Amino acid sequence: MKYAILLLLALLPFFAFSQKFHADLFGGIANYQGDLQGKRVTFSQAHPAVGLGASYDLTNKFILRAAFTYGRVGASDQKNTTAKGIEYRNLSFKSDIYEFHLGAEYNIFDLSERSLTPYVFAGIGVFHFDPFTRDAAGNKVMLAPLGTEGQGLAAYPDRKPYKKTQPAIPFGAGVKLALTENLQVGLEIGLRKLFTDYLDDVSTSYADSAVLFAGRGAQAVDIAYRGDEVGAPSYPAAGAQRGNPKYKDWYYFTGLRVSYRIGGKRGDGTACPKPAY
């Protein structure tokens, strides 16, 4: 992901004198939807997110955009209210998200004629994640190497270790306000369709505890099921449901996006935005 940042920084001088180029800053929150957070969109258990980007006006309504965004997602069964008794599974995770995306944006109204417009966007992206949790003693434990559902073990040939860098499809909508001829601010929500169900390290059924112990050690067994820490029954039988593989995970960013025209005033002779009425 460091190369995405370098690319954005390298583009700034190239477009510095173009009246159609904007530098973009994003600040807000990140959250996710998956086996530990059943609600599609919620502010519960959200974490901060920040981003740096660039955009280019193809026309007064069509815009190309690129951005690097960092955020953290996480959730705990102890705060999951979407299923009765889920707290006895007692799983939890956090993961830093590093994302780079390219996309197109469409303004519903022309900001050279109005000061306010809704907009939509979509594109392609790549993101990196690496889920972790805390054990009973508070120590940080990285989850992917443990193969908590038997990933990579001969007994489960259909369960492959998941890749921590993957593609995503970002899309969303917002509303932006032109404060001056060069400065815009917008409120945006951007969803990310993923192709993995392991953002939270939970997807399918419990692996056999003896097989998991032999292949990954005692820590993998301890972390794969943590109900014993809250007085629940012992490790479930092999094949018992741990997650829901029918639906992939999602994550999303919600916040403010500030866009500043680098090259000064517009070069097309239009006036400052008029009031939206």
Check residue 162 and report its DSSP letter: P
Place of tokens 């904007």: 22
12 band by pLDDT with thresholds 50, 70 and 90: low
Contact 178, 111 (CB under 8 A): yes
Give the helix/strand (H/E) hosting 134: strand 132-134
82 band by pLDDT with thresholds 50, 70 and 90: confident
Per-domain residue ranges of the chain: 2-129+164-204+249-261, 136-161+206-241
CA separation for the pair 37, 35 (Å, rounded): 6
pLDDT tens for residues 117-157? Answer: 999 999 999 999 999 999 999 999 999 999 999 999 999 99
pLDDT tens for residues 201-245? Answer: 999 999 999 999 999 999 999 999 999 999 888 899 999 999 999
- From 30, 9, 23, select the one nearest 170 (Cα to Cα): 30
CA separation for the pair 248, 192 (Å, rounded): 11
What backbone torsions phi and psi does residue 198 show, to the nearest 5 degrees? Answer: -115, 20
Cβ partners under 8 Å of residue 76, min gap 6: 36, 45, 91, 92
Left, alpha or beta for 257 (phi > 0: left; psi -120 to 50: alpha)?
A: beta
Q: Which CATH number describes the domain made up of 2-129+164-204+249-261? A: 2.40.160.20
Given a cut of 70, whether residue 105 has pLDDT beyond it is yes
Rounded mean pLDDT of 250-255?
98
Contact 271, 115 (CB under 8 A): no
CA separation for the pair 42, 30 (Å, rounded): 10
